[in-house]
């Protein structure tokens, strides 16, 4: 499955769309790196462990369009697919997730289009993550283009679970045995509890350090 442009102008348009979405990924990544550096400067702590980015393949875009009943056109791709450009932010603690989300929302020229909190409201599969769809302006030589980017924010533990679930679904083509699905749900609960305990432990360490500083 692939896009089938009917003219050279459409081929140029597809190349331009790809350029814009790649530029949007670079824009978001740069802003996140700056925010992380600033946080380190002020608080002596980096909330972001690492950042991953990807551009959705044409095949995946076509599948998603067809699944939602749309023709495979560039116009429909831009209008109806929100996760063509995707950025994943990996953090240490759940508190980092909401702090980063707030920092992103405070960027004056970034528009928050939608928010899905799968941490407080996990999917039935056990999937947990924080999703934001944003629109970021990309400045070209003759105009600017507001471009959608999906940002996923999760802890290292949540990312490990999501990676394993993806591999299992791929292996079983989305039809994993019930006992495996149930085990994944249980693992998700354990991971959430672990994240909460690690966050609590980190807060105790910070309190201990603050008390030790005051006693000096």
Q: How far is CA 163 from the centre of its chain?
A: 13
Could you read off the pLDDT of 61-73 as tens digits, one per residue?
999 999 999 998 8
Q: How far, in Å, CA of 116 to CA of 122, rounded?
A: 10
Cα–Cα distances (Å) from 170 to 121, 152, 157, 167, 206, in that order, read: 24, 20, 20, 5, 41
Task: Determine the average pLDDT of the residues in 4-13.
Answer: 53
Residue 150 annotated to the active site? yes
Q: How far, in Å, CA of 65 to CA of 47, rounded?
A: 35
Residue 13 pLDDT level (bands cut at 50, 70, 90): confident
Task: Determine the average pLDDT of the residues in 74-81.
Answer: 91
Cα–Cα distances (Å) from 173 to 4, 100, 127, 169, in that order, read: 27, 34, 17, 5
- Specify the pLDDT at position 1: 34
Strand partners, 78: none
Rg (CA), the chain: 20
Q: How far, in Å, CA of 54 to CA of 86, rounded?
A: 5
Residue 132 pLDDT level (bands cut at 50, 70, 90): very high
- Check residues 124 and 8 and name the one with the higher pLDDT: 124
- Specify the pLDDT at position 12: 61
Q: How far, in Å, CA of 84 to CA of 54, rounded?
A: 8
Catalytic pick among 2, 150, 165, 193: 150
**Angle between the 178-215 and 156-171 helix axes, to the nearest 10 degrees?**
170
- Specify the pLDDT at position 71: 93
- Residue from 74, 76, 146, 70 nearest 110 by CA: 146
Q: Which two tokens stand for residue 182?
A: 């149930």
Strand partners, 150: 86, 133
Q: Are strands 130-139 and 48-55 parallel, antiparallel or unpaired?
A: unpaired
Q: How far, in Å, CA of 132 to CA of 140, rounded?
A: 25
Each domain of the chain, given as residue ranges in start order, spans 8-156
The mean predicted confidence, pLDDT, of the chain is 90
Indicate the helix (H) or strand (E) that contains 51.
Answer: strand 48-55
- Specify the pLDDT at position 69: 94
pTM of the model as a whole: 0.89
Burial (CB count <10 Å: 0-12, 13-18, 19+), residue 76: middle
Residue 3 pLDDT > 50, yes or no?
no
Could you read off the pLDDT of 150-159 as tens digits, one per residue?
999 999 999 9
Could you read off the pLDDT of 85-128 as tens digits, one per residue?
999 999 999 999 999 999 999 999 999 999 999 999 999 999 99
- Specify the pLDDT at position 152: 98
Could you read off the pLDDT of 167-213 as tens digits, one per residue?
998 899 889 999 999 999 999 999 999 999 999 999 998 888 878 77
Task: Determine the average pLDDT of the residues in 120-142.
Answer: 95
- Write the CATH number of the domain with boundaries 8-156: 3.30.460.10
């Amino acid at each position: 499955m692939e896009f089938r442009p009917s003219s050279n102008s459409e081929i140029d348009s597809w190349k331009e769309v790809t350029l814009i979405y790649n530029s949007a990924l670079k824009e978001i990544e740069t802003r996140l790196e700056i925010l992380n550096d600033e946080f380190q400067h002020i608080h002596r702590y980096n909330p972001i462990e690492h950042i991953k980015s990807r551009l959705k393949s044409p095949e995946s875009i076509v599948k998603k369009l067809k699944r939602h009943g749309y023709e495979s056109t560039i116009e429909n791709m831009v209008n109806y697919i929100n996760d063509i450009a995707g950025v994943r932010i990996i953090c240490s603690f759940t508190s980092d997730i909401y702090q980063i989300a707030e920092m992103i929302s405070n960027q004056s020229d970034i528009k928050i289009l939608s928010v899905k909190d799968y941490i407080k409201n996990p999917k039935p599969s056990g999937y947990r993550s924080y999703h934001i769809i944003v629109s970021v302006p990309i400045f070209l030589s003759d105009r600017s283009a507001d471009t959608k980017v999906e940002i996923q924010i999760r802890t290292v533990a949540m990312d490990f679970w999501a990676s394993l679930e993806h591999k299992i679904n791929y292996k079983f083509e989305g039809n994993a045995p019930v006992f495996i699905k149930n085990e994944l749900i249980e693992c998700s609960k354990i991971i959430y509890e672990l994240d909460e305990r690690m966050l609590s432990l980190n807060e105790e360490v910070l309190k201990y350090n603050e008390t030790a500083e005051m006693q000096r």
